[in-house]
Amino acid sequence: MVNQSEIPSLADEDVMTLVQDGDPRAFEVLYDRHSGAAFSLAYRMVGNRVTAEDVSQEAFLSIWRSRLRYRSDRGSVRTWVLGIVHHRAIDALRRNLVHERRRATAEGLEERQEAPELTDVEVARRDEARQVRSAIGTLPSEQSRVVELAYFGGFTHSQIAEMLGTPIGTVKGRMRLGLEKLRHELVEQVA
């Protein structure tokens, strides 16, 4: 039995073992260690602070509920946490897309007017963001994950390699292939 005051000094995998046993203090430590990175990834993916907070909260609730599914042989605790955040953020983006489509249909496209403060530059930026998200969706999961962690999460190649438990050369290779496929996909969208 581990003393509660010792939990913050334990390694992530040991903390996760206590979380799997249902220890709320261990879950608090897990949250303290990874909530910043979780929010950062969610925010970079969804682009909205409130939605990112919701995504992070949903992810940690999911982590608590599915804590017995964590397996250390599949990757680090951080990778598992960020993977759950990634999936929750994608779910949030899909929900927002469905909501926007319903709203557009309900209002009627011909009656819908853009807000006066929406500039041409903002419209172009939003279109570009949609195209990039769509193109990322066409990548194999290994490549999309490293691209998203780098560009939406702000992580370096070394940090990504550590999080995924993958050699840095593999991360760089996946990044290079993913970016090349993205470039090709985006060129095709423009043409």
In a domain? residue 113 = no
The answer on 88 and 149 residing in a single domain is no
| pLDDT values of the chain reduced to their tens digit, one per residue, 191 residues | 678 889 999 999 999 999 999 999 999 999 999 999 999 999 988 888 999 999 999 999 999 999 999 998 888 999 999 999 999 998 888 887 766 766 666 555 545 555 556 677 777 777 777 888 888 888 898 888 888 888 777 778 888 888 888 899 999 999 899 889 888 888 887 66
Burial state string for 86-95 with b = 16 or more CB within 10 A and e = fewer than 16: bebbbebbee
Domain boundary among the residues 108, 133, 156 is at 108
Which pTM does this prediction carry?
0.54
**Full domain range(s) for residue 177:** 118-191
The answer on 98 and 122 residing in a single domain is no
Torsion 122-128-129-131 (CA) sign: positive
